[in-house]
């Protein structure tokens, strides 16, 4: 769920062939993963010691069309599931999160959107550097529906987005609409989910790299629960769907630059920006520059309310080396090696 707009990532022919395999090979879970945090949503209410709501109507920096609220109409726990509900309703609320601005004048600014929804985060309640993150979820469908499971830096050590990075565990747009994936058979419906990293410099010098995973139409992620996972260690990041390891991004393929007070840029060394604390986010956006410009285009206002359902969120850390996260990798040789962008300097 980028905090700036980006175009849909197209699938290459070679990757498509790999991902259309009728029976993807599941990777055996690496040894040494130790459960350190979880929410099974087994209580009657959202656990506010683990999650906090973002409350804003700013459109996510992507021209999205929702206000995020803390209302029970937009997020609640019932029958062991977290429900994140988008509703089509005119709503006016604060433009910014209260912790994002420093002046009363900015806090008092408001905006109006045609939808409401929820965005939950673990910021400063639970933050991690390295680990395995598993989320079992069922996603909403429809033109303009944009569910996301992702991570942002807690401390923004290297500067504003995307100098400090962003990790997208899973995003999907426009599920069950007519796909514009040129490698899919004619008339196919959208089934793809996407794993992506955002890095580079501060916008507009940001870049991103990622790849999609295509489900069969019979197993559309809007019809069924699936487990979306990410393993993050010091020198690489890996993506999984239902234990299928489908992509890897090595550290020599990403970079980070920071802007100095005099306007110059420096390149950050080591494993930056993915060597700092990050926190989890779960949200359901409506519209925005990505979904509104692909598939059927625009936003379909019909069929609301719609919901994203989350069965559990589990976080593991590698007991073999908690400082680097190395030694517990769950790997499959067929996984795509994502090619990153180079620093244009």
Q: Which residues are catalytic?
A: 166, 171
The residues near 152 (Cβ < 8 Å, ≥ 6 apart) are: 3, 121, 123, 166, 167, 278, 279, 281
Q: How far apart are CA 220 and CA 127, in angstroms?
A: 31
Secondary structure (3-state) at 124: coil
Q: How far apart are CA 186 and CA 322, in angstroms?
A: 47
DSSP H or E stretch at residue 13:
helix 13-19
Best CA proximity match to 166, nearest among 249, 83, 96, 107: 249
Residue 343: CA atoms inside 13 Å, Cβ hemisphere, count?
Answer: 18
Q: How far apart are CA 84 and CA 306, in angstroms?
A: 8
């Amino acid at each position: 769920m980028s905090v700036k707009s980006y175009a849909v990532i197209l699938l290459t022919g070679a990757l498509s062939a790999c991902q259309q395999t009728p029976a993807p090979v599941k990777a055996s879970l690496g040894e040494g993963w130790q459960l350190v945090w979880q929410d099974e949503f087994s209580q009657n209410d959202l656990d506010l010691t683990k999650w906090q709501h973002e409350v804003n109507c700013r459109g996510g920096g992507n021209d999205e069309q929702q206000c995020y609220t803390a209302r029970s109409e937009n997020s609640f726990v019932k029958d062991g599931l977290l429900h994140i509900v988008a509703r089509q309703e005119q709503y006016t609320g604060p433009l910014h999160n209260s912790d994002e601005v420093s002046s009363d004048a900015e806090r008092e600014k408001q905006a109006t959107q045609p939808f409401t929804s929820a965005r939950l985060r673990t910021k400063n309640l639970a933050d991690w550097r390295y680990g395995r993150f598993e989320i079992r979820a069922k996603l909403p469908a429809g033109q303009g529906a944009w569910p996301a499971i992702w991570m942002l830096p807690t401390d923004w050590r290297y500067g504003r987005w995307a100098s400090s990075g962003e990790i997208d565990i899973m995003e999907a747009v426009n599920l069950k609409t007519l796909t514009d994936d040129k490698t899919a058979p004619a008339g196919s419906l959208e089934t793809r989910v996407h794993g992506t990293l955002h890095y580079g410099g501060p916008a507009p010098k940001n870049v991103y790299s990622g790849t999609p995973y295509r489900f069969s139409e019979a197993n559309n992620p809007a019809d069924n629960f699936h487990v979306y996972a990410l393993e993050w260690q010091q020198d690489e990041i890996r993506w999984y769907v239902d234990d299928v390891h489908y992509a890897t991004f090595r550290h020599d393929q990403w970079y980070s630059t920071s802007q100095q007070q005099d306007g110059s840029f420096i390149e950050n060394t080591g494993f930056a920006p993915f060597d700092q604390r990050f926190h989890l986010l779960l949200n359901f956006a409506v519209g925005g520059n990505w979904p509104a410009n692909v598939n059927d285009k625009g936003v379909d206002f019909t069929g609301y309310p719609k919901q994203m359902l989350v069965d559990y969120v589990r976080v593991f850390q590698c007991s073999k080396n908690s400082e680097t996260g190395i030694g517990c990798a769950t790997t499959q040789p067929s996984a795509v090696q994502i090619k990153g962008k180079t620093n244009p300097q």
